[in-house]
Amino acid sequence: MNFLRPSCVTATPAVARTTSEMKTCRYALIFALLAVAACLPLAPNAFGQIQSTISCPSGHGYWDVLSVMMMDPGLASSYHMEGITAGLPSSYIYTQWDPSQSKVYYTKNPQGNPWDINLYDSNYVYQWVTELDSWDGVNHWNDPKSCKKFNNASQNRTSDFSMRWAARCAAPGGANSSIWNPPPTTQPNNTNYLTYVDQELQSKEQNLAYSQLLLESTSTLAVTDHRADPPETFSVTTMPLQYNYSCSVDGNINSCKFREVFDYALDTTVNPVDKVKHSYGWIRWRYYINTTGGNKDLDAVWVLSNISTSDQLMAGQVNINFQCF
């Protein structure tokens, strides 16, 4: 089961991941903040407006993970990431941060339809809501009234804080970088999720068995900034989050059937257009299938099945259109 969506790559100007009634935190940062903030190991003399979200313990190489997962608010108030194929928009990611509700929205199109909504507390970022692709043979990818929601079924006020996505403080490829989420009935963290179709909760709860989230070592990608004329392309640092799921054995990657990799980006030095250090949030998604079918006794063979890259910084924001529940 591909939980997150092999159908998400389209050649039409349609979608980017965020939510409704945009309460986006719109910070106009007049004086740039030190991008090193509390956790990010960045160039000490480079000024930026990457928003610090937590103070991480020293001595572990920890990053402020949430700050990299979202486009910094000063940039996100007017810009988004976009993919371009054959000269036409092929993907969108609008990022909106609502600190009053501890939410980050990733919106997938100019119509404001959410792709994912993440929650967070002082310990973790959690995947909460994701899009619904097909249900009973009907594709709901562009439907703001249908979605999937992680919920541990405990029926308490924190039951949505169940699918751990990443630690708030972690070192990519190092300390605190790996999390295994078990299936129900384990509490409070498990992979149980609910499905809503046309705002109606479906009776059958489902789960992803075991899942693993792994912050991999950093890499690089190229981003093109369309604030410049002509647009300027430069290298950024990526923080890849590997998501393995539908695993039958705790701690055994070979037993996982599916993998997705989310690449979040920030400036390696400073953005050459405005000489400021930015975070760009989520810019690439990759989906893999384990051709062994998750056989725990065989080495996994991961084959790339789909990819969506949003590496163009473009003007424009959206109002979130989220009506699922």
DSSP string over 79-140: EEEEEEETTEEEEEEEEEEETTTTEEEEEESTT--EEEEEEE-SSEEEEEEEE--EETTEE-
Which residues are CB-neighbours of 59 under 8 A, at least 6 positions away? Answer: none
The pLDDT assigned to 192 comes to 98
The pLDDT assigned to 203 comes to 84
Residue 169 to residue 51: CA distance in whole angstroms: 14
Count the neighbouring beta carbons within 10 Å of the beta carbon of residue 4.
21
251 burial level (CB within 10 Å; 0-12, 13-18, 19+): exposed
The pLDDT assigned to 32 comes to 33
* pTM of the predicted protein model: 0.86
26 burial level (CB within 10 Å; 0-12, 13-18, 19+): middle
What tens-digit pLDDT sequence spans the chain (325 residues)? Answer: 345 443 334 333 333 333 333 333 333 332 333 333 334 443 333 346 899 999 999 999 999 999 999 999 999 999 999 999 999 999 999 999 999 999 999 999 999 998 999 999 999 999 999 999 989 999 998 899 999 999 999 999 999 999 999 999 999 999 999 999 999 999 999 999 999 999 999 988 999 999 999 999 999 999 999 999 999 999 999 999 999 999 999 999 999 999 999 999 999 999 999 999 999 999 999 999 999 999 999 999 999 999 999 999 999 999 999 999 9
Phi and psi torsions of 7, nearest 5°: -90, 10
3-state class of 310 per DSSP? coil
The pLDDT assigned to 40 comes to 43
The pLDDT assigned to 52 comes to 95
The pLDDT assigned to 6 comes to 38
Are 141 and 15 a contacting pair, CB within 8 Å?
yes
The pLDDT assigned to 131 comes to 94
The pLDDT assigned to 48 comes to 60
The pLDDT assigned to 3 comes to 53
Residue 191 to residue 179: CA distance in whole angstroms: 12
Residue 107 to residue 319: CA distance in whole angstroms: 9
User: What is the C-alpha R_g of the chain?
Assistant: 19
Which residues are CB-neighbours of 204 under 8 A, at least 6 positions away? Answer: 195
